[in-house]
Amino acid sequence: MVEGRVKTEEAEKLIKSALDLIDEKNYSTAQEHVDKAYKIFKEEHFTEGISICLSLISFLDYSEGKYNYEKALAMLQDGAFMATRASSVTAQLINELIFGNIHFAESNKDVAIIHYNNALKLSVEEDKYNLSDTINTRIRQLQNGMDYSLPTKSDPLVSLVKISRSITALTDIDELLRVIAEETKNAIQADRCTVFLWDKDTDELWSKVALGLNSSQEIRFPADKGLAGYVVKSGETLNIVDAYQDPRFNPEVDTKTGYRTKTILCMPIMNNNKEIIGAFQVLNKIDGVFTKNDEDLLIAIGGSASIALENAQLFDQQLQLYREQKLLFESFIDTLATSIDARDKITAGHSTRVRMYSSLLAEAVGMNAKDRSLVEKAAILHDIGKIGIRDSVLQKEGKLTDEEYKHIQEHVRITHNILNKIYMSPDFRIITEMACSHHEKWDGTGYYRHLKGEEITLGGRILAVADVFDAITSKRHYRDKMPIANVLDILMKGAGSHFDKNLVDTFMSISCSKIIRVFLSEYNGQMNPNDEELLKQYDLMSIYRFVNSENLSAESQKVVDLFNHYYLGKSQEEKEQ
């Protein structure tokens, strides 16, 4: 009993496999599977299985030309009798499906639709072999006037839906055309599909997408050659049964690629102005030759491809315009920063270095690329308000008076007023907020709005650390660079009062090699690769601990000396001279 059930289950698996093979038009292998299943079902006296096999054998013999139409229907009637006798919904479903297939193949479409609808109703009761999708596809094909030769697993209508979705979802031309080409190949059951674009400057056709070739293999030839060239020049759609018998066919491409072209379906691609911009070429129908239905389907897909190309090219143009505007905006920012540098040669490069330190800190806290870019722009612009500060104050050598200090503090308010007048998108508005917050303090004692804690935007807090660090590590009119021990002490003591403590901790965790690169940018200096390898292993907190230690190891002393060598850099050389 158990052995019989196992055999029956094995036969049912063979039937499932045979149904898949039938859809792939692999009739000979399907026949082998059905014959094996039929033998098992007969041995086990399993009437449902015998009925299913009779229905499938009638279809396979018909498809391979062994039975004519009448003989196939006669055998199907035997299958129908057995299905009724077995009271099997599954056997009746497959019998109705096969009746539909044979009538569809014979173009008896009204009769075919009746059988398919009967099969669909039965599938609601029981669908052991998951045939409802196949039945629905056949019904859609009938309703849309398509040919029986089209597959059910790669439904042309489904391909059209996928292509339409891709047009709305994808903006990358290469990816979009690859999807269209892939779906076209599946829908039309061809071996290859190529999208040629017409380069009118060189009067050549070139393969924008060529399925079956690797990405480095580009097909390019004169636009007056080959069937694709003919289509582009004439605007006609061509359906060629034997490529090598057509004098317009260009065999050079086959020679280069090692491919053998047999059947070709080729049509022009037009833009919205009805101008030909390329050609859609489908090669080697898998089963026979390309039909009128294939032509109609390619025309529908070609229309979608035209829309896709037009949309993608418009998107590319918009993207290019955006890039140009972005470049213009960044050039404008750099020009404003340069105008400040021109006022005072001593502080020249300050905004650039603040940008570099801010970028390092923003990256260290995990800020995304877009927000980091906004922080960098704010850093470049943070001192733009110094345009409104008197030269006598800006360039004064020595301590500022109270009145002068109050005057220089105005540069933050001026920065806000200047940037507020520049048109920016809502995303870029945050640049103004960050740029005019770099003198605010965590405890609220900063200027000019006396914000405190997280009232200060994160970008503003980052700029505060970067601005002070660069100010005290740079030469000024009234002093040289501050010793690194004093610099780091100011940062550590200011954590939680002047600065956001978390940001100071993060800044102190940045590797020495990255900080030194910013030092060296002042005079385009270079770091010795061996030195960089060593300094990469230590951060600013390490330097802080070393310079505050009474008992330094030789290794630690070496690191401090090396750091100071690059930190003092050019200014030390000038001093010694």
Six-digit token string for 273: 């102005």
The band of 486, judged by pLDDT with boundaries at 50, 70 and 90, is: very high
Mean pLDDT of 10-19: 91
Q: Give the long-range contacts of residues 518-521, CB within 8 A, separation 24 or more.
A: 518/353, 518/356, 518/357, 518/360, 519/473, 519/566, 519/567, 519/569, 520/566, 520/569, 521/349, 521/352, 521/353, 521/356
CATH number at residue 165: 3.30.450.40
Give the pLDDT of residue 63: 87
Q: Are residues 202 and 130 in the same domain?
A: no
Q: Would you say residue 184 lies in a domain?
A: yes
Q: Are residues 24 and 92 in the same domain?
A: yes
Mean pLDDT of 444-471: 95
Structural domain span for residue 8: 2-143
Please tell me the total count of domains within the chain: 2
Higher pLDDT, 327 or 498: 498
Token pair 């398509």 in the structure block, residue: 146
Q: Would you say residue 123 lies in a domain?
A: yes
Mean pLDDT of 366-375: 93
End position of a domain, from candidates 97, 115, 143: 143
Q: Are residues 117 and 170 in the same domain?
A: no
Residue 191 to residue 378: CA distance in whole angstroms? 55
Residue 288 to residue 284: CA distance in whole angstroms? 8
Q: Would you say residue 371 lies in a domain?
A: no
Chain-centre distance for alpha carbon 332: 31
- Which region among 73-82, 270-279, 486-495, 524-533 has the lowest average model confidence (pLDDT)? 270-279
Q: Are residues 106 and 236 in the same domain?
A: no
Nearest to 47 by CA among 84, 74, 94: 84
pLDDT at 442 over 60: yes
Q: Are residues 135 and 247 in the same domain?
A: no
The band of 4, judged by pLDDT with boundaries at 50, 70 and 90, is: low
Q: Would you say residue 468 lies in a domain?
A: no
Task: Dump the DSSP string for 429-487.
Answer: HHHHHHHTTTT--TTS--SSS---GGGS-HHHHHHHHHHHHHHHTS-BTTB-PPPHHHH
Give the pLDDT of residue 117: 93
Which value, in Å, is the radius of gyration of the alpha carbons in the chain? 38
End position of a domain, from candidates 299, 316, 333: 316
Give the pLDDT of residue 245: 93
Residue 15 to residue 27: CA distance in whole angstroms? 13
CATH number at residue 33: 1.25.40.10
Q: Are residues 173 and 312 in the same domain?
A: yes
- Tally of residues, the chain: 577
pLDDT at 434 over 90: yes
Nearest to 315 by CA among 482, 170, 443, 459: 170
Give the pLDDT of residue 574: 47
How does the average pLDDT of the chain come out, rounded? 85
Dihedrals φ, ψ of 236, to 5°? -85, 155
Dihedrals φ, ψ of 573, to 5°? -60, -45
End position of a domain, from candidates 316, 345, 374: 316
- Which region among 70-84, 185-199, 357-371, 428-442 has the lowest average model confidence (pLDDT)? 185-199
Higher pLDDT, 100 or 426: 100
Mean pLDDT of 374-385: 91
In the DSSP assignment, the letter for residue 341 is H
Give the pLDDT of residue 372: 95
Q: Are residues 163 and 298 in the same domain?
A: yes
Give the pLDDT of residue 480: 81
pLDDT at 351 over 80: yes
Nearest to 357 by CA among 539, 517, 484: 517
Please state, in angstroms and as integers, the Cα–Cα distance from residue 457 to each residue in 366, 450, 491, 500, following that order. Answer: 16, 13, 19, 11
How many Cβ atoms are within 10 Å of 427's Cβ, its own excluded? 11
Q: Are residues 188 and 298 in the same domain?
A: yes
Q: Are residues 220 and 126 in the same domain?
A: no
Q: Which residues pair with 476 in a beta bridge?
A: 479
Half-sphere exposure for 292 (CA within 13 Å, toward CB): 3
Q: Are residues 44 and 119 in the same domain?
A: yes
Q: Indicate the burial class of 301 (C-beta count within 10 angstroms; 0-12, 13-18, 19 or more).
A: buried
Q: Are residues 204 and 311 in the same domain?
A: yes
The band of 450, judged by pLDDT with boundaries at 50, 70 and 90, is: very high
Q: Are residues 165 and 119 in the same domain?
A: no
pLDDT at 277 over 80: yes
Residue 227 to residue 529: CA distance in whole angstroms? 59
Q: Would you say residue 430 lies in a domain?
A: no
